[in-house]
Structure 1
Amino acid sequence: MSVRPTLVKLNEKAGNSPLFAVHGAAGTSFHYSRIALMLETECPVLGIEASGLESGDTVLDSIEEISESYVDLVLTTQPEGPYRLTGYSAGARIAYAMAVRLEDMGHEVADPVLIGGGGPVITGIDGPVDEARAFHSLIEYPLEEFRQLPPEVRDRHLLEVYAKEFSVDLDTPEDVELVRRRIAVYTANSRALFSYDTPSFGGGVVLVESEDEIDVHEHAHQWAELVDGEVTVKVVPGGHFTMVLREVNQRAVARAIDAALQGTAAR
Structure 2
Amino acid sequence: MQFWLISLYGVGVLLGFSSAAEIYPWANMDPSEWSDNYPECGGQKQSPIFLDKVNSTMKPSDPDTTYEIKFENIEKKGNVTAVNNGFNMVFNYTYSSESERPRITTKYNGTSNTYYVFSTSFNWPGEHKKKFKWSLLELHIFGKNDKGDEVIFAYLFATYVGAYCIRFPCEASCIDDDNISLERETKVALSIPKAGDVVNYEDSLGHLLPKNRQCGYFFYEGSYTIPPCKEGVLWFVYKRIICIEEETMKAVKSMEDAYNEPILSNNRPRLDRNGRRIIYFRCDIED
Do these two structures clear the TM 0.5 threshold for a shared fold by scoring above it?
A: no
TM-score, structure 2 as length reference: 0.26
Greater RCO (CA < 8 Å, at least 6 residues apart): 2
Which structure dedicates a bigger proportion of its chain to helix? 1
TM-score, structure 1 as length reference: 0.28
Which structure dedicates a bigger proportion of its chain to strand? 2
